[in-house]
Chain A
């Protein structure tokens, strides 16, 4: 089955700096890669996703890049703000078998004011 690895596990940045979180996946047939943000005491919420037919997608201060050859994808947050502090999860969905999402282990982002 699919295996998703996520790094780093914790990330601390100064307000206004950029933050980058990286994930690798094992199943070359995976074709859908969402990113979720989880605030304290709440369920995860989708912030951006990318499909295998594109290499990059942007939405205001967040962007995701995908390298299918290397089987990795990354989340980029620019001009970070204290409200960006949360746990971020990447995920991948394969195209065969269960076709359910496999999540990474999460990155705790702390934005220092």
Chain B
């Protein structure tokens, strides 16, 4: 049981490049989330999904897109990376909205 896994662990991009972060969970959870973590600002919700084929905007969605084509996977895309998107990105999943969220190990992204 791997829990929540994230790919890649580290990435460096140049301004304007695009990339996709992959999150996978093997707990059959309905809910999945993408957060970004910046110093002194805690975890901020980017987008989330309440089930396969559904996505919704969180607190800071601008500049990001997501897709949930399969229940176990949640993809976060950056179409045109900006230095302001330098951050650590965490994916999480939960059985329902009121249950424990299980977090992945994070992806450290640097945009030059």
Interface residues on B, range: 20 to 34
Taking a contact as CB atoms under 8 Å apart, the answer to whether B45 and A100 are in contact is yes
Number of residues of chain A lying within 8 A (CB) of chain B: 24
A-B contact count (CB 8 A): 51
> Chain B interface: which of A13-21, A42-50, A58-66, A78-86?
A42-50
Which residue in chain B gives the minimum CB-CB distance to A34?
Answer: B100
Interface string of B37-66 (1 = CB under 8 A from A): 000111111001000000010110000000
Q: Known: A104-B42, A105-B40, A105-B41. Is A98-B103 also a contact (CB below 8 A)?
A: no
List of B residues within 8 angstroms of A6 by Cβ: 42
- Spell out B's residues near A (CB within 8 Å): 4, 33, 35, 40-45, 48, 56, 58-59, 90, 92, 97-98, 100-101, 103-106
- Spell out A's residues near B (CB within 8 Å): 1, 6, 9, 32, 34, 36, 41-46, 49, 89, 93, 98-106
